Each structure stands twice: as C-alpha cells, then as structure tokens.
Amino acid sequence: MRDYISIGPSPCNEECAQVGQDNYPEQSKKECRAFLNQLSRVFGEPPGGAHLGIKSFPHDFGTYREVVCYFDDDVPEARDFAFMLEGKSPENWDEEAHKELSAPAAETVRR
C-alpha cells in the first residue's frame, strides 16, 4: 500500500516561511525544493518503492507545503528509508542549500 511520511518544510533548527506571509507560496516552494535536494545529497537516492516529493496540505489560513517521503508499505527497504529520513533529517541547511536559497527562483534546480 502506498503511504507517505512528512519530513518537514526545512531542517528543524532553521526558520521557514509561514502560511499567511505575502511571499509564502514562492518562498515555501523554494525552501522545500532546497530541503529535498539536501536530503538527496545526504542520504542518496531512495530505494525502490520510495521517492521524495513536495506535498501541499490544507490549513485554516491557506495551503502549506512539506517535503514528504512516499513509500510502498509492502517494501521494507522503502518503509525503513522513510522512517530513517524522519528521524535523521539534517538539523541545519548545508552550504549548497544556502546557495539555492539565495539564488533567484529560476536558478533553483531539482537534483
């Protein structure tokens, strides 16, 4: 069965865009993309049955976004990878993520 686990919008010790801010849609996409790319650099490609993505969720004040790991619950390696990401995701942005976040939006590329 396909499932997902939320990893978050950014590393846990970093500030992130807040729902309701004027530039939230653009900034949250940029932050989530940088976080997704950082997770890929740190942990490599997910095993078969798992992949990273950005998911939107409804909120009283609008829509918010988070990086999620989708996984096939019937594939132990995929499920284990998803829960490992949740427990061991980086606490801070790395140097490459800082570069992505300071670049104009058109220069942000998914790895």
Q: What is the C-alpha separation between 9 and 34, in angstroms, rounded?
A: 9
pTM above 0.85, yes or no: yes
pLDDT per residue over 16-72, tens digit each? Answer: 999 988 899 999 999 999 999 999 999 999 999 999 999 999 888 788 999 999 999
Question: What's the rounded Cα separation, in Å, for the pair 98 and 102?
Answer: 6
Q: What is the pLDDT of residue 106?
A: 56
Q: Per-domain residue ranges for the chain?
A: 2-103
